[in-house]
Amino acid sequence: MLAYAEAGEGPAVVLLHGFPLDRSIWEPQLSYLAGSYRVIAPDLPGLGKSEPFVEGERPSIPAMARLVLDLLDHLGVEQAAVAGHSMGGYVTLALYKAAPDRVAGLGLVSTQAGADTSEARQTRFVTAEKVKEEGPGALVAGMGTRLFAPGVDPEGEVYRRVTRVIGNTSVAGIRGALFAMADREDLRSLLVQVKVPTLVLTGEEDQLIPAERSQVMAAAIPAAVLVKVPGAGHLPMLERPAEVNRAFEHWLDLVY
211: which residues sit within 8 A by CB, 6+ positions away? 202, 203, 204, 205, 228
Instruction: Give yes or no for residue 169 binding ligand MLT (CB under 6 A).
Output: no
Instruction: Give yes or no for residue 29 binding ligand MLT (CB under 6 A).
Output: no
Contacting residue, 18, 42, 45, 176, with ligand MLT by CB under 6 A: 18
206-225: contacts with ligand MLT (CB under 6 A): 208
Q: 82 pairs with which residues across the strands?
A: 14, 106
Cβ-count burial 210-240 (b if 16+ within 10 Å, e if not): ebebbeebbebbeebebbbbeebbbbbbbbb
Instruction: Give yes or no for residue 86 binding ligand MLT (CB under 6 A).
Output: yes
Closest contact distance (angstroms) between CB of 10 and ligand MLT is: 28
158 or 208: whose CB is closer to ligand MLT? 208
Closest contact distance (angstroms) between CB of 109 and ligand MLT is: 10
CB neighbours (10 Å) of residue 144?
17
Closest contact distance (angstroms) between CB of 91 and ligand MLT is: 10
Instruction: Give yes or no for residue 127 binding ligand MLT (CB under 6 A).
Output: no
18 or 173: whose CB is closer to ligand MLT? 18
For residue 63, give the nearest of 53, 71, 73 by alpha carbon: 53
Task: Please give the Cα distance from 93 to 30 (Å, whole number).
Answer: 21
The secondary structure element, H or E, covering residue 253 is: helix 241-255
Instruction: Give yes or no for residue 67 binding ligand MLT (CB under 6 A).
Output: no
Task: Please give the Cα distance from 136 to 133 (Å, whole number).
Answer: 9
CB 151 within 8 A of CB 160: no
19 or 148: whose CB is closer to ligand MLT? 19
Contacting residue, 41, 80, 91, 181, with ligand MLT by CB under 6 A: 181
Instruction: Give yes or no for residue 19 binding ligand MLT (CB under 6 A).
Output: yes
Residues that bind ligand MLT (CB under 6 A): 18-19, 86-87, 181, 208
